[in-house]
Homo-oligomer: A and B are copies of this chain.
Amino acid sequence: MDINKLPTIPAGPVGYLRRPAHTPVDQPAPNPLCTLFGIRYPIVQAGMIWCSGWRLAAAVSSAGGLGLIGAGSMYPEVLREHIRKCKAATDRPFGVNIPLLYADLDKHVGIVLEEEVPIVFTSAGNPALLTPRLKAAGRTVVHVVSSVKFARKAQEAGVDAVVAEGFEAGGHNGREETTTLVLVPLVRDAVQVPVIAAGGIADGRTVLACMVLGADGVQVGSRFVCSAESSAHPAFKEAVTRVEEGGTMLTLKELAPVRLMRNAFFQEVQAAYARGAGVDELKQVLGRARAKRGMFEGDLDQGELEIGQVSAAIRNVLPAERIVQGLVDEFHTAAARIGLNGRSLMAPWQHPGPDQRLPK
């Protein structure tokens, strides 16, 4: 059966079925994120410090997703270089992720505007800080949130979409600790802009599950850390493929909550907590440039290794194109299992024989 030949149903109110007024009834509604970004698949590669430079962003965009350069670990002129190299490497849209708490924020914004980057993701801060300026310059703006409260704030600030990122995500994270499964439906019901689910997504069935929850697409981080094009140190990539369940933890909540791989440095942080360390002592334990040391330079003991919980399901390093295509193929497989066969969906809910009775 060709699922593309099944009849359509009228537009629903929820993400993946939203149908613009101009779409004929017998045509599927385009995915709002594909339309917004001008991309083929609603798969965004997270802009990650030390891992996502121009090589990764260009590879993901060329493969049909949306690649993001992670500005958080770049000096302004380094960012400019990455943007130019990314433009040279792909003719597809790409974006830059800018953490709002970064010291060089103004310079980063200036470069993104000068270099005509069409799409900007902002994170870790107040969405009202940059959104009006970026929108006035004609850019597509997306803000990363970990709560409904900030999703609403972002929408009020005028963003084009929000990323709803759950507790399982790697790196910096929300104080509410709301998981992706709980967060996405809450955010979906609270805002009208497209919603991108993030946190815990490394295969195609999870992509589909997030769209069932109401997301219009996904942002994927850890899986792309383990790509050939990621600028993470090979030792870090290798370590990610060996993470077991419980191998990452959210910590340093008094500074800014961050999900890290358990290593010697993580144990030092835990020891500091055990002796009742305050914020100042924690800052001292953290020190400076720990993330670079771990993720970029490959010091697996003393480095800060930011990675998501779903690393427990990642077991290899692949070219980014194969990761994108794998997500799409697995999505199709999972969708076909449900979508091709209405009866197989209903079967779980109708016991085929007579109801059993309990002996009295």
Contacts and interface: CB of A to CB of B under 8 A. Distances in A.
Interface of A: 1-9, 12, 14, 16-17, 27-31, 33-35, 38-42, 87, 90-94, 116, 118, 147-149, 166-168, 174-183, 185-186, 199-201, 203, 205-206, 208-214, 216-217, 245-246, 249-250, 274-276, 309-310, 312-313, 328, 331-332, 334-353, 355-360
A9 B212 CA distance: 21
B309 A179 contact: yes
A357 B90 CA distance: 9
A20 B11 CA distance: 36
A61 to B, nearest CB: 9
Given A179-B200, A214-B205, A38 B168 contact: no
Contact of A180 (B27, B34, B181, B350): B181
B182 A310 contact: yes
A339 B347 contact: no
B340 A9 contact: yes
A128 to B, nearest CB: 20
A181 B205 contact: no
23 contacts: A4-B343, A6-B341, A6-B342, A8-B344, A9-B337, A16-B337, A16-B345, A28-B347, A35-B351, A38-B355, A39-B351, A42-B348, A168-B178, A175-B246, A179-B199, A181-B200, A182-B312, A186-B313, A206-B213, A209-B212, A209-B213, A332-B349, A335-B345
A29 to B, nearest CB: 6
Contacts of A312: 178, 182, 186
Nearest to A150: B245
A69 to B, nearest CB: 13
A168 B168 CA distance: 11
B179 A166 contact: yes
Contacts of A250: 177
A91 B246 contact: no
Nearest to A119: B358
Contacts of A186: 245, 312-313
Contact of A344 (B16, B212, B345): B16
Contacts of A249: 177
Given A342-B6, A356-B38, A210 B209 contact: yes
A147 B168 CA distance: 15
Contacts of A92: 355-358
B200 A205 contact: no
Given A9-B337, A30-B348, A30-B353, 5 more contacts: A16-B347, A39-B355, A183-B245, A205-B214, A335-B346
Contacts of A213: 205-206, 209
A20 to B, nearest CB: 11
A91 B168 contact: no
B211 A348 contact: yes
A155 to B, nearest CB: 16
A4 B312 CA distance: 38
A40 B355 contact: yes
Nearest to A357: B91
A29 B344 CA distance: 7
Contacts of A201: 181
